[in-house]
Amino acid sequence: MFRFLPRVSRRDLSYFFFSQHFSDGVRTTLAILLPALVGAQWGDFATGILISTGAVCVSVADTPGSAKHKRNGMLAALGMVFGVAVLTGLVAPYRWLLGLEVVGLAFALTMLLVWGARAGSVGSATLLGMVLLLAHPPTLAQVVPHALLLLLGGAWYLVLALLQQQLQPYRAAQQTLGECLHAMAGFLQLKSTFYQESTDLADDYRRLVAQQILVNEKQEAVREVLFRSRQLVSESTPASRRLVLTFVEAVDLYEHITAGYYDYDALRKAFGASGLLAEIAALISRLATDLDYLGSAIQANRAYGSPPPDRTREWDRLQARIAALPPPDAATGTSPRVLLKILVNLRDLIRRIGNLRRYFDEGLLDEAPPEASRAATHGQFVAPQELHLRAFTENLTLGSAVFRHAMRMALACLVAFVLAESLWHGQHNYWVLTTVTIMLKPGFSLTRQRNIERIIGTLGGGLLGALVLKLVHSGDARFTFLVVFMVIAYSFLRTKYLVTVVFLTAYLLIMFTFLGAGYLGIIEERVTDTLLGCAIALSAGYLLFPSWERDQLRDLLAATLRANLAYLRQLADRLMGREVPATAYRLRRKDVYVASANLAAAFQRMLSEPKSKQRHPTEIHEFVVLNHILSSNIAALTTTLQEADTATLPSPESRRALTSALAALTRSLTRLAPEALNPETATQATLPEVRSEMPATPPDRPLLDQLVFLQKVSADLSKVTEVLAA
């Protein structure tokens, strides 16, 4: 349960205490706690609790993103919580009408997911407000005053959030950028393990792909904050320009990290005994640490501090050791040429990480104008978020995953409501319905994971709370524990749900003792309600219109192939001498990262589902790894061509290898998605015309080798796809 505690470094603590999650946790705690304390001080604790409830509801809609979208989401939640509070108060005396409201709103509010995660969070906030109101439904005369108090609490949270945003307009961007560099450092650290003979390569790939998902999530978070904010991009203030340029540099660095692919099994066999691979791994690990320190400094908004270590000297020592190797052995086929390629890659990594340190250099701003054109196209890097009624109506079919989830939520809430009303008459029986609304997720794998964490966290939190209450008798000391537990619970809400449940349960127990309730009875009821709610949610996820990851994988596989085909096509354009605009290239690169991460995430979720619901796990894992190798080598070759001074005509052998790779990817795509057979796909499968002024040159052996390798990987992908498409 406390796996997050071991090996916590000072840098990890810095990332936590300066993170957006921690600042959100402190703000949420303040917004919830202060009204209750003021109410208690004035002798009207119930009013204070109601205002705090409004703050809790609106905080659910305060998801990360641009300032404008956060504000709009919280305003929407504020209005909807007020409206639903009035409706719930009016129908509360009529239990059958209340049941209809619960079912109808559970369906309608869940359907808001068709407009994206933020709209879904607004629905969740409103649903939570309705369920919490069931604890003590107001009388008819109290309906409007109750709703106004909820509105006041939500407005109080909104004012706090907007005030923090106004006072620190760049903090969210700095925090997300720092977390992005932290994730990239973790990715680079994992790359170092490929050079260590003690690790299993299959294991290394699994962990690398899992980290790739995290890096993509963090990059998307930075794009949301940076590229949707007028103040951060269009107004081009010094601080905003520094953030935008640093993020662009960071994405280029990540491409360079992913492009460093080699035959690690052959490397280990050829050079493992020399000790060189251990030195390479150590240097990469230290570079990852340097990158991590950069992320920590940016996130904390502090100076970098001491002069950075000189990794160039370490690189020079490594170069000297490689130069001292004996000449290539024709008998064994070992050649230090691959080590020289690794050396070049490491030198570029050192240079690019050094470039990121310019974030702390005021002189960086003098270089902004050449890069300003990148920021001008920022809108292309984030998906549009528009609310069209047609999106809602088009999803009112069983073919829609959102519609099936909404039906599942409505039926599960109906069961929970009937159970709480007729069979279970605890003092807090609304906890059953609350558990269902929070635990039931669109996919079974996430529902299962959340339910396990909820049960373990509730038991652990009950034990923690009981220990505090048993050992600590001072009211002031108990209150201190309550505040600390609240901050921890709300800080980990979006990152480690298990931690949130542990400390949320503990602080609720302490809070109820201040209200005069016996904590043993509260623990018993909390555990019982949690078990009932989790059982309903898990059963609904498995039995009612279930959504299995295997059903989504075909589309995700096709999307990944489509992105890699376009990525390979831009490489072909470069080889044939055609100009590829920087923005177009970055968009294709982003599409590959996003599609690969989505596929890997879905595959991981599938592995947590019942064995009977999984399909071709071995082949899909092979596809994910081959896809990573393919995109890495395309990136490596593209980087080489970008840095070349002149373009030369590829040899006929190179053209054949490239054509074969394009054709193999096209075949794979059309197997998975026959509708992909269109003129655009046909164009992507052929080489462009050669630019007439390009000079003809003899065959370039390194280029030919790389293209032949791309051809082989594409052919292997085609074979795996044939099995998956059967």
Q: pLDDT by residue (tens digit) across 72-105?
A: 999 999 999 999 999 999 998 888 899 999 999 9
Amino acid symbol at 155: A
* 516 pLDDT tier (thresholds 50, 70, 90): confident
Query: Residue 681's pLDDT is what?
Result: 57
Query: Residue 53's pLDDT is what?
Result: 94
Distance CA 168, CA 171 (A): 5
Query: Residue 360's pLDDT is what?
Result: 77
DSSP tag of 686:
S
Token reading at 354: 């050094």
Lowest-pLDDT range of 100-104, 245-249, 556-560: 245-249
| pLDDT mean over 344-359 | 89
Query: Residue 334's pLDDT is what?
Result: 55
pLDDT at 375 over 50: no
pLDDT at 326 over 80: no
| pLDDT mean over 510-533 | 82
Amino acid symbol at 127: L
pLDDT at 70 over 80: yes
Query: Residue 443's pLDDT is what?
Result: 87
Question: Would you put residue 236 in left (φ > 0), alpha (ψ -120 to 50) or beta?
Answer: left
Distance CA 702, CA 549 (A): 41
Token reading at 508: 């609720």
Q: How many residues does the chain have?
A: 726
Rounded (5°) CA angle 631-636-637: 100
* 335 pLDDT tier (thresholds 50, 70, 90): low
pLDDT at 115 over 70: yes
Rounded (5°) CA angle 496-501-503: 100
pLDDT at 699 over 60: no
Q: What's the pLDDT tens digit per position in 566-582?
A: 999 998 888 887 888 88
pLDDT at 209 over 70: yes
* 298 pLDDT tier (thresholds 50, 70, 90): very high
Distance CA 350, CA 577 (A): 30
Sign of the alpha-carbon dihedral angle for 682, 683, 684, 689: positive
Give me the chain's average pLDDT, please: 85
Query: Residue 693's pLDDT is what?
Result: 47
b/e 456-489 (16+ beta carbons within 10 angstroms → b): ebbbbbbebbbebbeeeeeeeebeebbeebbbbb
Q: What's the pLDDT tens digit per position in 162-175?
A: 999 888 888 988 99
| Among 231, 211, 184, 247, CA closest to 71 | 231
Query: Residue 694's pLDDT is what?
Result: 47
Query: Residue 169's pLDDT is what?
Result: 86
Q: What's the pLDDT tens digit per position in 589-641?
A: 899 999 999 999 999 999 888 888 888 999 999 999 999 999 999 988 888 88
* 244 pLDDT tier (thresholds 50, 70, 90): confident
Token reading at 666: 């096209």
Distance CA 294, CA 299 (A): 9
The residue whose two tokens read 């009211």 is 475
The number of beta carbons lying within 10 Å of the beta carbon of residue 41 is 10
Query: Residue 374's pLDDT is what?
Result: 47
Lowest-pLDDT range of 19-28, 304-313, 439-448: 304-313
Distance CA 357, CA 303 (A): 10
* 366 pLDDT tier (thresholds 50, 70, 90): very low
- Within 13 Å, how many C-alpha atoms sit on residue 558's CB side? 16
Task: Report the percent of the chain where pLDDT is more than 70.
Answer: 87
Residue pair 293/386 in contact (Cβ under 8 Å)? The answer is no
Token reading at 475: 């009211």
Lowest-pLDDT range of 128-132, 293-297, 638-642: 638-642
By CB atoms closer than 10 A (0-12, 13-18, 19+), residue 324 is: exposed
DSSP tag of 492:
S
Q: What's the pLDDT tens digit per position in 484-501?
A: 999 999 999 988 999 999
Non-local CB neighbours of 505 within 8 Å, separated by 6+ positions = 457, 458, 460, 461, 462, 464, 465, 526
| Among 214, 154, 143, 156, CA closest to 184 | 214
* 367 pLDDT tier (thresholds 50, 70, 90): very low
Query: Residue 714's pLDDT is what?
Result: 93
